[in-house]
Amino acid sequence: MQRLLTLTAAVACSLAATPSFAHAFLDHAVPAVGGTVTGSPRELQLTYTENIVLPFCGVRIASEGGGAVPAAKPRLGAPNELVVKLGHALKPGTYVVSWHVVSVDTHHTQGTYKFTVAP
């Protein structure tokens, strides 16, 4: 029975994973994915394609050289949006954002993107 339930869940998920209903992928971010901003942002906003479960979500920010940027724990700006307040202003340079989330359908996704702070 347990096995049948597992199989049913797997089939349901693969059926659900069509382009119209996928896991929580990053839809857009501020600063924008691959974008350049003038001056340091105070916070990052990451908006997902599905609602997410905050206790299982995390975001790390590092300079391209690898140094971690201190940041607050993410909070929800909306049911599908993480907001991360930065611990200090970012110097000009390129930064790497690494995120992982769990969507309300319990699936885990993760990814990275970069943005640049112009001088």
Residues in the site for Cu ion, rule: CB under 5 A? Answer: 23, 105, 107
**Around Cβ 117, how many Cβ atoms within 10 Å?**
19
Residue closer to Cu ion (CB basis): 2 or 18: 18
Cα–Cα distance between 41 and 30 in angstroms, integer? 9
Q: Among residues 54 and 71, whose Cβ is nearest to Cu ion?
A: 54
Helix (H) or strand (E) holding 98: strand 93-102
- In the bound state, the residue with its beta carbon closest to Cu ion is 107
Residue number with CB closer to Cu ion (23 or 69): 23
- Residue 1 Cβ vs Cu ion, minimum distance, rounded to whole Å: 23
- The residue (of 48 and 95) whose beta carbon lies closer to Cu ion is 48
Q: Which of 73, 98, 99 is nearest to 86 (CA)?
A: 73
Q: Least distance to Cu ion from the beta carbon of 105, Å? A: 4
In eight-state DSSP terms, residue 72 is P
- Identify which of 47, 86, 91, 89 has the alpha carbon closest to the alpha carbon of residue 65: 91
Nearest approach in angstroms of CB 113 to Cu ion is 20
